[in-house]
Amino acid sequence: MEAGSQLGVRQISGFKDFYQSVNQTRVIAGRDLLSSTGFEMSKEGARRVFVVTDQVIRETGLVDRVVAGVEDGGLEVAGVFDDVPQDSSTDVCDRCGEEAKAAGADSFLAVGGGSVMDTAKIADSLFTHGGTAAESEGFYLMPRAGDSLAPLPIAPLVCIPTTCGTGSEVSMGAVVKDPERKVKLEIADFPLFPRLAILDPESTRTLPPRIAAATGMDAMTHAIEGYVSLECNPHQDGRSLVALRLIRDNLERAVQTPEDDDARGQMLIAASLAITISLGSTHSMSHPCGARFGVPHGVANAINLPHVIRFNAEGGSDIADRYRDINELFGLETGGSDAEAGDALATHVSSMVERLGLPSRLSEVGVPEVGIPLLVEGAMGDGLTLLNPREPTEQDYEELFRRAM
Ligand SMILES: [Fe+2]
């Protein structure tokens, strides 16, 4: 049978008819970088900086150090918005954009995790182009001038991630909750690439181990799903495999010995390498878990990932061979049947999740069994389902959610 011709299996190997790899964010990584935030931001054209963060991070004193770094570079801080919740929403983005406008800012600096960075991206777009977050859903939908294909830029945005997982600091995507429609709104377009990401382990020094574990599992899910997505490609493969090597060597160290700067720094790099918008069914399942039942994104991925790996591996040897590559990297069994290859990786992921102290079942994190139809509906409607290497049916998702319960 030809690759990709099996029912429900999509082509993931061989020379592709088309793919694109885009990477527009300047990255600086290393130690003691926060004091040069202003100097680096001035290279991006910033003069009056609007800082976006959350209250927890502000209380750690990190924002004060970053603000001092901005001012040291001769820039002004126009205002600080520290009202981003753990799971941000469209109304927060609207408010953040309006406050930046009222403050007379000309640029954004996000200091925080995925929720903060995604809020800053969308707020920046509203600040620059107007409109509301709720109307902004979709891929490649940012304003264009007239008939031009070139999207209009947004004000300079710089990100300092305080978790090692989301990768939003180097991606063109943003996900926030739409509380009215109870869905996760996914937005992606080229202008949303931050101009600069500053990766300094100092910014993750106070990260609680549980969040380090959950966000680290998000990075791991990006690397694995990115490697096995329908849109996997050699550019992304290289990034995914190096990210997985860094995660293999540093995730548990970073969680178990939080004072280990090296491990935290390597995890920041891993997260920024692993990010891709070519994901799959783990993310499709985790988005409604968050939107409907408030399950943190990384926790939902940690729970759902092993089940999706087993499901996909049984979809054909094209897919299972990709998992075999990952098995090799983790020193796992690479032989056996396709199902066995998937099972080896899924079992390894589950034991890692356990060692990291994360929950392994949706029922442990407040998802009731009666919620499965809602979750199935959310997963089927999620755009990333289209990129999963094996096409899931409604019944497949129902079974996957049951296994994850
Ligand atoms: Fe994710």
How many CA atoms within 13 Å lie on the side-chain side of 250? 26
Residues 199 and 215 reside in one and the same domain:
no
- At residue 260's C-alpha, the angle toward residues 259 and 266, to 5°, is 135
Same domain, 300 and 382: yes
Q: Are 312 and 176 part of one and the same domain? A: no
Sign of the CA dihedral with 55 first, then 363, 177, and 308 last: positive
DSSP output for 243-269: HHHHHHHHHHHHHH-TT-HHHHHHHHH
Domain with 143, as residue range(s), is 26-204
Average pLDDT, the chain: 94
**DSSP letter string, 83-133:** B--SS-BHHHHHHHHHHHHHTT-SEEEEEESHHHHHHHHHHHHHHHH-S-G
- 386 in the same domain as 246: yes
pLDDT, tens digit, 9 for 90 and up, residues 16-53: 888 889 999 999 999 999 999 999 999 999 999 999 99
Higher pLDDT: 179 or 43? It is 43
Q: pLDDT for 48-93, tens place per residue?
A: 999 999 999 999 999 999 999 999 999 999 999 999 998 899 999 9
The reply to whether 307 falls in a domain is: yes
Quote the ligand 1 centre to 166 CA distance (angstroms).
Answer: 6
**Do 126 and 68 contact (CB within 8 A), yes or no?**
no
Q: Is residue 10 part of a domain?
A: no
| Whether residue 256 sits in one domain with residue 164 | no
Q: Same structural domain for residues 193 and 269?
A: no
Could you tell me the distance, in angstroms and rounded to a whole number, from the CA of residue 177 to the centre of ligand 1? 14
Residue 16 CA to ligand 1 centre (angstroms): 25
- What integer pLDDT is reported at residue 9 of this predicted model? 52
pLDDT for the residue 15: 85
**Domain total for the chain?**
2
pLDDT score of 28: 98
Flag whether pLDDT at 302 surpasses 90: yes
167 alpha carbon – ligand 1 mean position (Å):
8
90-129: pLDDT as tens digits: 999 999 999 999 999 999 999 999 999 999 999 999 999 9
Is 14 part of any domain? Answer: no
Mean local confidence (pLDDT), 177-184: 86
pLDDT tens sequence across 238-258: 999 999 999 999 999 999 999
Burial class, 32, CB count within 10 angstroms (exposed 0-12 / middle 13-18 / buried 19+): exposed
Nearest CA-CA partner of 184 in 379, 49, 11: 379
- Cα–ligand 1 centroid distance for 286 (angstroms): 9
**Shared-domain flag, residues 140 and 242:** no
Co-location of 237 and 370 in the same domain = yes
- Tell whether 5 is covered by a domain: no
Identify the CA nearest to 319 among candidates 336, 347, 341: 341
Q: Could you tell me what percent of the chain has a pLDDT over 70?
A: 97
Q: Which residue has the higher pLDDT, 178 or 117?
A: 117
- Spacing, Cα 150 to ligand 1 middle (Å): 27
pLDDT at 11 over 70: no
The domain spanning residue 382 has which CATH number?
Answer: 1.20.1090.10
Tell me how far the alpha carbon of residue 269 lies from the centroid of ligand 1, in angstroms. Answer: 15
The rounded Å distance from CA 162 to ligand 1 centre is 15
284 Cα to the center of ligand 1, angstroms = 10
pLDDT of residue 7: 47
CA 399 to centroid of ligand 1, rounded, Å: 22
The pLDDT confidence band at residue 140, using thresholds 50, 70 and 90, is confident
CATH number of 60's domain: 3.40.50.1970
Q: Give the residue-averaged pLDDT of 354-365.
A: 98
Distance 29 CA to ligand 1 centre (A): 21
What integer is the mean pLDDT of 202-227?
96
Could you tell me whether strands 157-161 and 76-81 are parallel, antiparallel, or unpaired per DSSP bridges? Answer: unpaired
Q: How far is the CA of 2 from the centre of ligand 1 (A)?
A: 32
Tell me what percent of the residues of the chain surpass a pLDDT of 90: 85
Quote the pLDDT of residue 5: 39
Q: What is the pLDDT of residue 13?
A: 76
Q: Where a domain ends, among 204, 233, 249?
A: 204
Collapsing DSSP states into helix, strand and coil, what is residue 44? coil
d(CA 174, CA 49): 21
In a domain, 7, yes or no: no
At 364-376, the pLDDT tens digits run 999 999 999 999 9
Among the candidates 183, 204, 225, a domain finishes at: 204
Same domain as 240, residue 340: yes
CA 287 – ligand 1 centroid, Å: 9
Helix ranges, 8-74 (H): 37-42, 55-59, 62-72
State whether 185 and 281 are in the same domain: no
> What pLDDT does residue 40 have?
98
User: Given a cut of 70, is residue 351 above it in pLDDT?
Assistant: yes
Task: Tell whether 17 is covered by a domain.
Answer: no
The answer to whether 167 and 272 have CB atoms below 8 angstroms apart is yes
**Rg (alpha carbons) of the chain, rounded to whole number:** 20
200/214 same-domain check: no
Cα 295 to averaged position of ligand 1 atoms, centre (Å): 13
What pLDDT, on a 0 to 100 scale, did the predictor assign at position 363?
98
More confident site: 179 or 245: 245
272 within a domain of the structure (yes/no): yes
Q: Which residue's structure tokens are 């009666």?
A: 370
- Is 15 within a domain? no
Tell me: do 127 and 242 sit in the same domain. Answer: no
Contact of 362 with 329, CB cutoff 8 Å: no
* Amino acid at site 75: L
Centre of ligand 1 from the C-alpha of residue 283, in Å: 6
User: Pick from 140, 169, 204: which residue ends a domain?
Assistant: 204
Residue 73 Cα to ligand 1 middle (Å): 33
